[in-house]
A = this chain, B = another copy of it.
Amino acid sequence: MVEPVTIAVDVMGGDLGPDVVLDGALQALRADSALHLALVGPADVVEPFAAAHDRTRAVAATEVIAMGEHPAAAVRAKKDSSIVVGCRLVKEGQAQGFFSAGSTGACLAAATLVVGRVKGVKRPALGQVLPAYARPCLLIDVGANADCKPEYLVQFAQMGVVYMESIMGVSAPRVGLLNIGSEDTKGDEFAQKAHQLLAASVPQFAGNCEGGNLMAGDFDVVVCDGFTGNVCLKTIEGTAKTLFKYVKDALMASLPSKLGALLVKGDLSRLKGKLSPETYGGTPLLGVKGAVIVGHGSSNATAVANGIAVAATTVRANVAGVIADTVARAGSATPGGEGEAAASDAR
Residues of A within 8 A of B (CB): 132-133, 143, 146-147, 178-180, 187-191, 210-216, 224-228, 230-243, 245-247, 249-251, 253-254, 256-257, 259-264, 266-268, 270-271, 274-275, 343-344, 346-347
Contact = CB atoms under 8 A, between A and B. Distances in A.
A269 to B, nearest CB: 9
A346 B146 CA distance: 14
A216 B238 CA distance: 7
A215 B230 contact: no
A214 B239 CA distance: 8
B246 A257 contact: no
A236 B239 contact: yes
B216 A242 contact: yes
A235 B132 CA distance: 12
Contacts of A187: 146, 227
Contact of A231 (B143, B178, B246): B178
A266 B257 contact: yes
Contacts of A268: 247, 250
Q: Of residues A188, A226, A251, which shows the largest number of chain B Cβ atoms within 10 Å of its Cβ?
A: A188
Closest 9 CB pairs of A and B: A260-B263, A211-B234, A211-B235, A212-B238, A146-B188, A260-B264, A215-B242, A212-B234, A260-B260
Given A180-B226, A251-B267, A259-B263, 4 more contacts: A179-B231, A180-B227, A191-B227, A256-B266
A259 B147 CA distance: 51
A83 to B, nearest CB: 19
Nearest to A215: B242
A189 B242 CA distance: 30
